[in-house]
Amino acid sequence: MEQGLQHDMTDITSERRQFLKHLAVLTAAGAGAAWAKDFEVSRWPAGQRAPSLQAADLDGKTWRLADLRGRAVLLNFWASWCPPCRAEMPSLQDMAAIYGPDKIVVLAINFKESRATAARFAQASALSLPVLLDPAGDMARQWGARIFPTTVLIDATGQPRQRVQGEVEWTGQAAEQLIAPLLMR
């Protein structure tokens, strides 16, 4: 019994060391600040044009970024296996409803999942946002989505302004400060 307890304590100490090592690396990389607010905002690189966007939603409608000029656009890259993605989706949908489709369009871009999986999630969560499919992850790569969720904020002229990595409460004050500048023409 004593030997088993000693072995368990060794495992715990080893796990603690691993955790602290990872924490130190993340803190050095600047991730500490992101933990405090659950998301990190970065500016879209100056001079970098918006990648093209042409994709079909679950209903077969084709969405093109160029067709959405005059409205702010949020491209939300998500997956059903991602807990923060699932957690933020209701507030993302609520925010889209608050502003209305004449001011803002939110496109929920599903990362590398089948149509059936994305549709099941949309139905189970009563998601009414357009769900676009990115089966090979090409759109996510083009738009710089490496962490999920990632949301790219595009102004009414079609210019990407910011990339938000992590879960956001889209009906909160922090999100309002991100969205307001997108609506100015």
The one-digit pLDDT tens for each residue of the chain (185 residues) are 555 445 444 444 555 555 444 434 334 444 433 333 589 999 999 989 999 999 999 999 999 999 999 999 999 999 999 999 999 999 999 999 999 999 999 999 999 999 999 999 999 999 999 999 999 999 999 999 999 999 999 999 999 999 999 999 999 999 999 999 999 86
Alpha-carbon distance values, 140 to 94, 111, 150 (Å) = 23, 7, 9
**Phi and psi (nearest 5°) for 159?**
-95, 125
pTM, to two decimals: 0.80
The architecture (CATH level 2) of 38-183 comes to: 3-Layer(aba) Sandwich (3.40)
